[in-house]
Structure 1
Amino acid sequence: MAARFLFRATKKLALAAPIVGGGVAAAAISTSDDPATALKLCATVPLRVTRLSLTAATIAFDYEYSLWGLPEDSIERSKVKHEVHNRSARKLEELCFKNGGIYIKLGQHIGQLEYLVPQEYVLRMRESLLNRCPVSSYDQVCEVVKTELGGMPDEIFSEFDPVPIASASLAQVHVGRTHDGQKVAVKVQHAHMTDTASADYATVELIVNTLHRFFPTFDYSCGYQELDFLIEAKNSVKCMDNFRKLSPHIADYVYAPRVYWNFSTSKLLTMEFMDCAQVNDVKEIRRLGIQPHDVTKLVSQVFAEMMFKHGFVHCDPHAANLLVRPLPQGKRSILGKRKPQLVLLDHGLYKELDFPTRTNYAALWKALIFSDACGIKENCVKLGAGEDLYALFAGVLTMRPWNRVIDPAVDHLALQGDDNDRSELQMYASQYFLQISELLRRLPRVIILMLKTNDCLRAVNNSLLKGSSLETFLIIGRVSSEAVIETKLLQNKSSLWRIKLWLEEWLLEVRLFGMQVALWLLQLRKALTL
């Protein structure tokens, strides 16, 4: 089913890409004031658009020719389709590497669509594009630094390592030191990014819109704001302000690196250097005296607060963007353990949830945690799933079938993260592909991006604990319930209403305590059976 949609999508892309990309490139060339830039555009943009068109045409032809005449459910068709998927994924990977920049980000996004895009594409994109990104030469880095800050790196900084410590699709990071002795991380945009940006974004936007018609979960929202590092810096400041004002009880446990504004522009960002463990480096986390279980709980709480209370959400929480260190000024426990602090990196991709969406999303998760079938249906419908697909929406959110979603057992939403779980989910994705596509077509795009964020967080939790932590569901239940109560308080501030909400809050605590006791008993029983 997915292969047929993929073929139709690539055929449309092969026809439309040259027109769109070429038109935007011509406009960029004609309006450029810099002869060198105009010449570079003339030389590179047509080549990039041609690559895209040829790749799309080749993939479309391969699907049509190779699968022609093969019975839909035959073993031979399945075998050939697998081979075509692999060939096409390699062609797409080659295109992403040759064109670079946002094409690599596009490929990385495909690698996260595990349950909707054929596995051959997912595995190929994950293995290559997540770990192998282009690196700008030191001469190119010097060119960007001189253009942005008015001097060479060794003039602006007292120290500047020419070898990057990390490289991503849009930029790479160098370690430096300011003249007053502060160690910094300098994020430098790849030199080629802005030269062909207009044509690249036009053609990538065409790809996204085409794929979104056939794969509605494909909502790649990268825009020019991700190329403006000052927006990223402002997002990091706003994020921390939200925690201080709206979630002061955990504000000390989350941190964003300080921005050095005098050394930052739209294409170069200088931040405090963070010497921390990556969130999926369990061995290093333990060496620091931190329990992975505590990290999992903190990650869940931080993002639950963002989603349900702040409405301003970091939407790219993969492992490389989440660091862990011991809480500054925190003391070791009697057993020598230390509390974690979560450090958030890469604030380029944030989404804002409007008040009704945030409120309904919080109410939905509250209902999911407490197995409230009526509440699940009501809030799924409010978010646009409809009365016919609300159960499917609950399943997509939790990665659990409906009978497990409404099971009153305390571990009803737990995932083991093993091969059986993955096989079951892929089977459901294939079986209900059309219904899932229709569901995702109905949902607001911001909710689809929340699904992607949830998937990233599940991957982080699974890397820490090899499965779901049941306590994270209690945290989500608490934060979502608190958000719902706070919303009700804003609607009516009379004394009687406050008393009613106080009783509701008290009942919530009783209910959560009961679930916590049940969880302890469940853990005890599992321990005794080992």
Structure 2
Amino acid sequence: MGQHMASMFVLPKEWTDTMKVLQDKCEPTQYNDLEVLFLSDMGAPIEELFDDFDPNPIGVASLAQVHVGHHKESGARVAVKIQHPHLAEFCEVDMEMVDITLGWVKYWFPQFEFTWLGEEMRTNLPKEMNFVIEAANASRAEAEFRDIRASLYIPKVIVSSKRVLIMEYIQGGRVDDLAYLADHNVDRNKVAIELSRIFNQMVLLNGWFHADPHPGNLLIRPSPPGSRSPYNFEIVLLDHGLYFDIDRKLRVNYSKLWLSLMAPASRPVLQERRKYAELVGNIDSDLYPVFEAAITGRAALEGSWEEIEDNKFRRASSVIDMVPQTDEEKDAIRHAVSQGDGILLSVLDVLRRVPRRVLMVLKLNDLTRSLDLALMTTHSNVPFSS
């Protein structure tokens, strides 16, 4: 949730800057401790299963770190994801501390209702800590895209246990590495379009989606021989620990909400937008402008948010009509959130009210929008309108 808050433009800049350190500033576990965990989970020491194993991790996240080795049995170069050894030991303590802290926040500041955050943590964290679940998610994701011609690639899982995951190693660059894209003659606009298409497919059609596509979980590489990608690149999706399903009724209503946002503003269209916002997000008319801003990543469409002083920028009639976001618009919405009477509380109220599945879709939306901005594309940066 801290990573999500770091990508939410509707929150004050001081909040998002504070939360950004949660995205990639993790400390590695000492190698000796990893050896003990590996032996406990796999029943054999690292040197027995690998011809070579780099003790220096290539990536360190909040739950685990990744090493590269050569797997004896498969004969393949592999990425080995190993959970931080004392994570499970302190997990329950952490969650209890979150519950107590949020309870006191609610007691002293009733308008800041965050207890749902602790509930969400208790539901999702055990899933992310079980790499057997992650392996199953990766297999299902691969199967759901098997008959779809897309640039998506899911690394093959070789061995999985609860705290160790051995998978195919993929050489590539971060998907937002502009120098890497240029060196390999990859069109960043096409990359952004493919990212949007992949995650739209998951949310709107498959009804089952990866909930954490931050840049550290996405690699890009030139298309190898036999690739199904329609372009000269493949997008490699990593870290399949957290997926959510979304039922057909919610998907249909969410699609209709986007269709109304894409239609030119008129009285019937404005009514449609509010109608589907209520069906999708449990959002009433008063909170609709904040919800619309969270979805579109923009200050306001025509007829949506009269409170924002928008004389310095043009308000679009629909997401199709949007022009690139100006500094004036960014300043206006930051000012509205930080200084406007009750607007920040409205943002928090939206986060509390929306169903948890919708909150995860908003997180996905924010992350894909951030990727689009990082890619410095020349087309619209409204990810679900393409």
Give TM class, smaller chain: 0.7 to 0.9
How far the C-alpha of 1:454 sits from its partner, in A, is: 1.1
How far the C-alpha of 1:285 sits from its partner, in A, is: 1.3
Q: How far apart, in 1, do the equivalents of 2:61 and 2:77 lie? A: 21
Q: What letter matches 2:6 in structure 1?
A: G
Q: Aligned match of 1:393 in 278, 291, 294?
A: 291
How far the C-alpha of 1:414 sits from its partner, in A, is: 4.6
Q: How far apart, in 1, do the equivalents of 2:247 and 2:180 lie? A: 39
- In the other structure, the counterpart of 1:438 is 349
The answer on whether the counterparts of 2:270 and 2:303 sit within 8 Å (CA) in structure 1 is no
TM-score (norm 2): 0.83
Q: Aligned match of 2:360 in 428, 431, 449?
A: 449
Label 1:411 to 1:477 Cα distance change in 2 as closer, same or farther (>3 A).
Answer: closer
Q: How far apart, in 1, do the equivalents of 2:103 and 2:367 lie? A: 23
CA deviations over 1:140-171 (Å, ceiling 9, x no partner):
11111111111211111111111111111111
Q: Aligned match of 1:194 in 88, 97, 115?
A: 88
How far the C-alpha of 1:123 sits from its partner, in A, is: 1.6
Q: What letter matches 1:155 in structure 2?
A: E
The answer on whether the counterparts of 2:10 and 2:294 sit within 8 Å (CA) in structure 1 is no
Q: Aligned match of 1:149 in 31, 39, 42?
A: 42
How far the C-alpha of 1:378 sits from its partner, in A, is: 2.1
What is the alpha-carbon root mean square deviation over aligned residues?
A: 2.8
Q: What letter matches 1:442 in structure 2?
A: R
3-state DSSP class of the match of 2:37? Answer: helix
How far the C-alpha of 1:374 sits from its partner, in A, is: 3.5
How far the C-alpha of 1:130 sits from its partner, in A, is: 2.9
Q: Aligned match of 1:253 in 139, 151, 172?
A: 151
Query: Which one has the bigger strand percentage?
Result: 2
Label 1:428 to 1:397 Cα distance change in 2 as closer, same or farther (>3 A).
Answer: farther
Q: How far apart, in 2, do the equivalents of 1:197 and 1:442 lie? A: 27
- In the other structure, the counterpart of 1:524 is none
Structure 2: 5+ residue stretches without partners: 305-314
- In the other structure, the counterpart of 1:316 is 212
Q: What letter matches 2:366 in structure 1?
A: D
CA deviations over 1:348-395 (Å, ceiling 9, x no partner):
121111222122111111221223434312211212112443344222
CA deviations over 1:256-293 (Å, ceiling 9, x no partner):
110013xx201011110010111110110121121111
Matched, 1:380 2:291: no
- In the other structure, the counterpart of 2:331 is 423
Matched, 1:167 2:35: no
How far the C-alpha of 1:110 sits from its partner, in A, is: 4.7
Q: How far apart, in 2, do the equivalents of 1:381 and 1:343 lie? A: 35
3-state DSSP class of the match of 2:165? Answer: strand
- In the other structure, the counterpart of 2:10 is 115
Q: Which moved more, 1:307-316 or 1:440-449?
A: 440-449
- In the other structure, the counterpart of 2:27 is 134
Q: How far apart, in 2, do the equivalents of 1:347 and 1:210 lie? A: 34
The answer on whether the counterparts of 2:55 and 2:67 sit within 8 Å (CA) in structure 1 is yes
Q: Aligned match of 1:469 in 376, 379, 385?
A: 379
Count of residues paired in the alignment: 356
Q: How far apart, in 1, do the equivalents of 2:329 and 2:347 lie? A: 18
Label 1:410 to 1:452 Cα distance change in 2 as closer, same or farther (>3 A).
Answer: closer
Q: How far apart, in 1, do the equivalents of 2:294 and 2:319 lie? A: 19
Q: How far apart, in 2, do the equivalents of 1:338 and 1:314 lie? A: 22
The answer on whether the counterparts of 1:370 and 1:477 sit within 8 Å (CA) in structure 2 is no
Q: How far apart, in 1, do the equivalents of 2:6 and 2:316 lie? A: 32
How far the C-alpha of 1:445 sits from its partner, in A, is: 1.8
Matched, 1:303 2:212: no
The answer on whether the counterparts of 2:337 and 2:344 sit within 8 Å (CA) in structure 1 is yes
Q: What letter matches 1:469 in structure 2?
A: H
How far the C-alpha of 1:408 sits from its partner, in A, is: 4.3
Greater relative contact order structure (CA < 8 Å, 6+ sep): 2
Label 1:309 to 1:355 Cα distance change in 2 as closer, same or farther (>3 A).
Answer: same
Q: How far apart, in 1, do the equivalents of 2:38 and 2:77 lie? A: 17
Q: How far apart, in 1, do the equivalents of 2:183 and 2:115 lie? A: 39
Query: Which one has the bigger helix percentage?
Result: 1
Q: Aligned match of 2:321 in 389, 395, 412?
A: 412
Question: Larger Cα Rg: Structure 1 or Structure 2?
Answer: 1
How far the C-alpha of 1:108 sits from its partner, in A, is: 4.0
3-state DSSP class of the match of 1:214? Answer: coil
The answer on whether the counterparts of 1:173 and 1:187 sit within 8 Å (CA) in structure 2 is yes
How far the C-alpha of 1:113 sits from its partner, in A, is: 4.5
How far the C-alpha of 1:206 sits from its partner, in A, is: 4.2
CA deviations over 1:110-131 (Å, ceiling 9, x no partner):
5344533x533432332x4333
Label 1:319 to 1:211 Cα distance change in 2 as closer, same or farther (>3 A).
Answer: farther
3-state DSSP class of the match of 1:343? Answer: strand
Q: What letter matches 1:425 in structure 2?
A: I
3-state DSSP class of the match of 1:342? Answer: strand
Q: Aligned match of 1:176 in 44, 50, 69?
A: 69
Percent identity between matched residues is 31
Q: What letter matches 2:335 in structure 1?
A: M
Q: How far apart, in 2, do the equivalents of 1:322 and 1:203 lie? A: 32
Q: How far apart, in 1, do the equivalents of 2:27 and 2:318 lie? A: 48
Q: How far apart, in 1, do the equivalents of 2:156 and 2:89 lie? A: 29
Structure 1: 5+ residue stretches without partners: 1-105, 332-336, 479-530
How far the C-alpha of 1:453 sits from its partner, in A, is: 1.4
- In the other structure, the counterpart of 2:127 is 225
Q: Aligned match of 2:302 in 392, 400, 403?
A: 403
Q: Which moved more, 1:389-398 or 1:147-156?
A: 389-398
Q: How does 1:208-247 map to 2 (within 5 A)?
A: 214=112, 219=117, 221=121, 222-244=124-146
